[in-house]
Structure 1
Amino acid sequence: MENLQLENGLERRTTSQSSTSSANPTDPVSPTDECGCVRLGKCKWFNVAKGWGFLTPNDGGQEVFVHQSVIQMSGFRSLGEQEEVEFECQRTSRGLEATRVSSRHGGSCQGSTYRPRINRRTRRMRCYNCGEFANHIASECALGPQPKRCHRCRGEDHLHADCPHKNVTQSHSNSKRNSNNSSSSAAQEKSEEAT
């Protein structure tokens, strides 16, 4: 016999077994009773980063898949491990899936204390005012307007285009290029003499 009870505006279906059958609470629920009714259970585990997990029913039925979109709570929706919940489910091609999950008394769920880590890369850019690699630009620099200066050596008597350090590095690279060219031309002359 099936009894309908209303608790907090939610429908609860309870079945009373006949006196001839054994009333063992550990017996699993039949597949027809698993769907379409409000059931109680606990969260077996929930992955907060991916937003899904599984519920273990108190009546010993099959585990139920739960997605964060069906959890009744405000803000970031998740379930804590072993959190007691009330849920409704339906059978899909993949198995049982929850269609509504709320706290034990029909309210909002408590949720997990863990939050997924967000990989935010800090964008480091060069401030042309202070010359530092930081998270601000020249218009937002805390130092205020600075005098014009070379961004290579930070000297105030010249600008980057006229930097003496720039010429030193260029002259070293030019001399390396010239020495490479002269050694390659000498190697070519030796190979020509050998033939």
Structure 2
Amino acid sequence: MSADQSDSENPTAATSEEKWLPGKCKWFNVAKGWGFVVSEDGEHEVFVHQSALQMTGFRSLGDEEEIEYQATQSDKGLEATAVRAKGGGDCQGSHRRPGAKKKLRKVRCFNCGDFASHIASKCPKEPMPKCCHHCKSTAHLIEDCPTLPDDKKKKKGPSS
């Protein structure tokens, strides 16, 4: 590199004299804790690990979050050694969290009697009269259903 080339063309010069380079998050996997940032001019793609992020709590980068970084050349390519928000300060981070997928649990709705992912208070059907959840008859409840197989019936214990 010749002396007349600027440090902005060489991202490895970022560690010397505390030079911070502008960029933005290309993508960040919050579950694995790493991703890539791209320089402002789009020429350099830099690996970033969550340990290099300047922020408190759960460390991550948001989509297209504008940041400043310092980088060094490693054996695998450019790697960020420090990342902060543009202008200094803590990074904003992603709204995503690992394992935040809502698990649908099937429960019996006491209004419609179906196994669904809602409860009676959130049932889309109108309030229904009490009925058997097995045969839907209003004459009896499931406990006394004549069409319910014996292996599905509750065993009545000895009464005291």
Scaled to the shorter chain, the TM-score interval is 0.5 to 0.7
Q: Would you say the 8 A contact 1:71–1:101 is kept in 2?
A: yes
Check if 1:77 corresponds to 2:60.
yes
- CA-to-partner distance for each residue in 1:70-109, whole Å, 9 max, x for gaps? 22245663144372x3222344332221121012332123
Q: How much has 1:48 moved relative to structure 2? A: 5.1
Match of 2:74 in 1: 92
The CA distance in 1 between the partners of 2:89 and 2:40, in whole Å, is: 18
Aligned length: 137
Q: How much has 1:69 moved relative to structure 2? A: 3.8
The CA distance in 2 between the partners of 1:42 and 1:133, in whole Å, is: 50
User: How big is the alpha-carbon RMSD for the aligned residues of Structure 1 and Structure 2?
Assistant: 4.3
Q: How much has 1:39 moved relative to structure 2? A: 2.5
Are the structure 2 counterparts of residues 152 and 104 from structure 1 closer, same or farther at C-alpha, using a change threshold of 3 Å? closer
Structure number with higher relative contact order (C-alpha < 8 Å, ≥ 6 residues apart): 2
Are the structure 2 counterparts of residues 40 and 161 from structure 1 closer, same or farther at C-alpha, using a change threshold of 3 Å? closer
Match of 1:52 in 2: 35
Check if 1:108 corresponds to 2:90.
yes
The CA distance in 2 between the partners of 1:131 and 1:159, in whole Å, is: 11
Task: Give the AA of the match of 1:56.
Answer: S
Q: Would you say the 8 A contact 2:30–2:60 is kept in 1?
A: no
- CA-to-partner distance for each residue in 1:35-66, whole Å, 9 max, x for gaps? 454321212612455641133277x7x54211
Q: How much has 1:123 moved relative to structure 2? A: 1.4
- Name stretches of at least 5 consecutive residues in structure 1 with no aligned partner: 1-20, 168-195
The CA distance in 1 between the partners of 2:131 and 2:40, in whole Å, is: 71
Match of 1:132 in 2: 114
Look at both structures and tell me which one has the larger radius of gyration over its CA atoms.
1
Match of 1:15 in 2: none
Q: Would you say the 8 A contact 2:23–2:69 is kept in 1?
A: no
Q: Would you say the 8 A contact 2:25–2:62 is kept in 1?
A: no
Match of 1:29 in 2: 10
Are the structure 2 counterparts of residues 159 and 80 from structure 1 closer, same or farther at C-alpha, using a change threshold of 3 Å? closer
Q: Would you say the 8 A contact 1:43–1:79 is kept in 2?
A: no
Q: Would you say the 8 A contact 1:71–1:109 is kept in 2?
A: yes
Q: Residue 67 of structure 1: which of 25, 29, 49 is its match?
A: 49
Say which structure is richer in helix: 1
User: TM-score, with normalisation over the residues of structure 2?
Assistant: 0.54
User: TM-score, with normalisation over the residues of structure 1?
Assistant: 0.47
The CA distance in 2 between the partners of 1:148 and 1:46, in whole Å, is: 53
Match of 1:193 in 2: none
Match of 2:23 in 1: 42
Are the structure 2 counterparts of residues 99 and 48 from structure 1 closer, same or farther at C-alpha, using a change threshold of 3 Å? same
Q: Would you say the 8 A contact 2:11–2:72 is kept in 1?
A: no
Task: Give the AA of the match of 1:98.
Answer: A
Q: Percent identity?
A: 34
